[in-house]
Structure 1
Amino acid sequence: MQYFDNPQLGIRTIHIAGTNGKGSTAAITESILRATGLKTGFYTSPHFLDFRERIQINRKLIKKQDLIQLILKIKSAVEKLEIPVTFFEFGTVMAFLYFKEHNTDVNILEVGLGGRLDATNLCEADISIITSISHDHMEYLGDDLKQIAFEKASIIRPSGTVFANIPDNEIFNVVNSLAQSRKASVYRLNSEFKVAQIEPGQGCQTFDFIGEKKEFKSLKLSLIGQFQVHNAGLAIAACQKFLDSGNEGDIRKGLEKVQWEGRLEIVSDHPTVVLDSAHNVASVRNMTSELCKNIKFSRCLVILGLMKDKEIDKIVEILSQFGDRFYLVEVNPPRGEDPEKLQEKFKKYKKPVQVSESVSSALQAIKDFSNPNDLVCITGSIFTVAEAKKYFQYEKSFSNPGNSPRSGK
């Protein structure tokens, strides 16, 4: 970064870490700040179909020509300096350079993994957000939740401000202690500020935000799920701090217009087809709970592709109580779990299970089998969702006209 004159410095930044919810929180934060007229740099990972999804200004993908020029510039520097660089580090340098060259007013950065040693932590963010603490990527972060909390809280800057959604007092104390040692201010969801869901819904939901100085009633959020209300609360609190209060109209506009793919994303109706990248125990539990609360359906047909490094037994147990029929696929080999091994784990739950060649073949089988009031849930990893997105780019009508509606329950 020194070679490029530290492009990550000099632009105000909001830095977001957490086991689950950091991408959604980043998207909500960006949407609110863009609604105020600010020029936003937006860096998230991973991507679904196009690497350029990771690097955006005002939610527009980096142009291909700009991407090529940055790749060549960084490649030349790496060769000249003779230093090894990872794929993620390369992408992060690209984002910092792109935002600097285009004079963004604020950068919203999602941590790639952990926080303390993450490439994004080269930024100097006066505001940081910690969305949640649970188990994931344990081969890198370990299985001690206190240690995981420390890794993520290490993005907090001296004299900065952190907003956190950590219900567990013992885990929160790790974050709070680190913040105090750095003379940073801590604002905790359900303590210094609160949210209350009023009306869940399939397309959007309504909630109240109660802050120390301001309350906003009947806010409309275009993302579904109770956990998205929590993420929105973090984003509103952070934006109020960033803007030194903020205009209520801009906050409302940002919440109503926010878009974030691959999280409880409905891509088709009759049957309802939902894409969700849930890939760890906490996110799978949230997903199944929210789908049961927000969508009426007769049967649930699940397409599942998992990575080998996840808590597979626990995920299978949760999903077996949710789904009525399962279609198991292998995605992103060799990291992806063998679907035949997954099938063995499902046997004790006595649910119909079949192995499919691919996500598209599973979808074709479901199209022939499903009824209009079924729920089709495609989940387990971002790779599984990406394969489904490719399918729906070309498949405009998923319903089977030969199947008649059944009564919902």
Structure 2
Amino acid sequence: MANRYDFDPKTYLQQGAWADVKLGLHRTEELLERLGNPQDSLKIVHVAGTNGKGSTSAFIAGILQAAGYTTGLFTSPYILRFNERIQIDRVDISDEDLLEVAADVRDQALLMDEAPTAFELLTAAALHYFSQKRCDVVVLEVGLGGRLDSTNVVTPLLSVITPIALDHVAVLGDTVEKIAYEKAGIIKSGVDVLSYPQHSDAAAVIEKRAAELGCTVRTPRFSLVDAHAEGLTQVFSYDGIEDVHLRLAGVYQPCNAAMAVEAARILRGKGFDIPDSAIKNGLEATTWPARFEVVAHRPTTIVDGGHNEQGARVLAKSLQEYFPEGGVTFVMSVLRDKD
């Protein structure tokens, strides 16, 4: 009999190209059922959106960890190493644990009539791992869209929607309304929704979907955000949370942080013990690569992964804030599916 561990889990969980995306939930549902439905044992915060969902997810996870909860975090894509995509308390899954959960997933996937996609395999592996490690709470970032994304097999405690803009238009649609419809697909009956203050067209779609499913929508009041640069970091205050020294420098990060504050307050209402001190400490501890990240000095070198018009605008705004004299040199690389 062949050794069930005789394979490379990273190669297995990344099989096929990004272009091979096959949206739909039935394969993930079957695979998770074969694994014993690990998602049903987890308390989940589900995060969709076009921009900012990685940083917002990281902030929420940071707050929950600071409050003493064992916190799973699932994100994509990875920046430096594959294991980043599955973390507990901001520690990447080990190669040994990755092989173990990938073997469990592979055993079940081989029994299926229709082979799961790479992202479906990865989603199942993450949920299986978080359940095995008995996470108190999991922050689950959507891969693509929302409605038909493989993460959308969970019933979360809270659905979070970050800024919506045009991206992945070939898959999700060519208008903000069409994309908002896909993102709003993560909204579940009776589950609270936290939404970024969206463009009116996107907001109308989200509010309509929430009303149909009997959900309350909360939106942060960005008029209460106060932030100023200190060197290449910034000091942030929002609605009673004062003088937070954010390690994430982009001018858009205070809004992501305010989203995380509101998420923490909603979770408080669901029985989580999250004092204001944990909110502050969690925000201050949060790092996230390739989001206006200073990677070197002399010369100051910044890496940013913005890859759509909205991302480009906030990058430009950040550069104007931190380098008002100009003189910025760009080294830029763009995939052919981007505008």
Q: TM-score range by the shorter chain?
A: 0.7 to 0.9
Secondary structure, counterpart of 1:274 in structure 2: strand
Q: CA RMSD in A?
A: 1.5
Q: Which residue of 2 aligns with 1:15?
A: 46
After TM superposition, give the deviation of residue 296 of structure 1 in Å.
Answer: 5.5
Aligned counterparts of 2:227 and 2:76: Cα–Cα separation in 1? 31
Task: Give yes or no for contact 2:290–2:303 (8 Å, CA) kept in 1.
Answer: yes
After TM superposition, give the deviation of residue 294 of structure 1 in Å.
Answer: 1.7
Report whether the alignment pairs 1:220 with 2:245: yes
Report whether the alignment pairs 1:275 with 2:300: no
Alignment gaps of 5+ in structure 1: 312-409
Aligned counterparts of 1:64 and 1:225: Cα–Cα separation in 2? 32
Report whether the alignment pairs 1:208 with 2:231: no
Opposite residue 40 of structure 1, the aligned amino acid is T
Q: Which residue of 1 aligns with 2:217?
A: 186
Aligned counterparts of 2:38 and 2:234: Cα–Cα separation in 1? 39
After TM superposition, give the deviation of residue 284 of structure 1 in Å.
Answer: 1.0
Aligned counterparts of 2:86 and 2:117: Cα–Cα separation in 1? 17
Q: Which residue of 2 aligns with 1:94?
A: 125
Report whether the alignment pairs 1:60 with 2:60: no
After TM superposition, give the deviation of residue 94 of structure 1 in Å.
Answer: 0.5
- Change over 3 Å in CA distance of 1:49–1:175 after alignment to 2: same
Opposite residue 241 of structure 2, the aligned amino acid is F
* Aligned pairs for 1:9-408 within 5 A: 9-190=40-221, 194-210=223-239, 215-244=240-269, 246-295=274-323, 299-311=327-339
> Which deviates the most, 283-292 or 97-106?
283-292
Secondary structure, counterpart of 2:78 in structure 1: coil
Q: Which has the higher contact order (CA 8 A, sep 6+)?
A: 2
Q: Return the TM-score normalized by structure 2.
A: 0.87
Secondary structure, counterpart of 2:170 in structure 1: helix
Aligned counterparts of 1:294 and 1:221: Cα–Cα separation in 2? 15
Secondary structure, counterpart of 1:81 in structure 2: coil
Task: Give yes or no for contact 1:202–1:224 (8 Å, CA) kept in 2.
Answer: no
Bigger Rg over Cα: 1
Aligned counterparts of 1:275 and 1:134: Cα–Cα separation in 2? 21
Aligned counterparts of 1:124 and 1:135: Cα–Cα separation in 2? 27
After TM superposition, give the deviation of residue 83 of structure 1 in Å.
Answer: 2.4
Opposite residue 71 of structure 1, the aligned amino acid is A
Alignment gaps of 5+ in structure 2: 1-31
Opposite residue 234 of structure 1, the aligned amino acid is M
Secondary structure, counterpart of 2:230 in structure 1: coil
Fraction of identical pairs, as percent? 34
After TM superposition, give the deviation of residue 194 of structure 1 in Å.
Answer: 4.9
Aligned counterparts of 2:220 and 2:278: Cα–Cα separation in 1? 22
After TM superposition, give the deviation of residue 145 of structure 1 in Å.
Answer: 0.9
Aligned counterparts of 1:298 and 1:186: Cα–Cα separation in 2? 40
Aligned counterparts of 2:48 and 2:199: Cα–Cα separation in 1? 17
After TM superposition, give the deviation of residue 217 of structure 1 in Å.
Answer: 2.7
Secondary structure, counterpart of 1:206 in structure 2: strand
Opposite residue 91 of structure 1, the aligned amino acid is L
Task: Give yes or no for contact 2:158–2:191 (8 Å, CA) kept in 1.
Answer: yes
Aligned counterparts of 1:12 and 1:265: Cα–Cα separation in 2? 31
- Change over 3 Å in CA distance of 1:198–1:46 after alignment to 2: closer
After TM superposition, give the deviation of residue 200 of structure 1 in Å.
Answer: 2.1
Task: Give yes or no for contact 2:65–2:89 (8 Å, CA) kept in 1.
Answer: yes
Task: Give yes or no for contact 1:201–1:294 (8 Å, CA) kept in 2.
Answer: no
Q: Return the TM-score normalized by structure 1.
A: 0.72
Aligned counterparts of 1:290 and 1:85: Cα–Cα separation in 2? 40
| Runs of 4+, deviation exceeding 3 Å | 295-298
- Change over 3 Å in CA distance of 1:226–1:195 after alignment to 2: farther
Deviations 1:215-259 (A, max 9, x none): 223333221123111111111101111123731111110111101
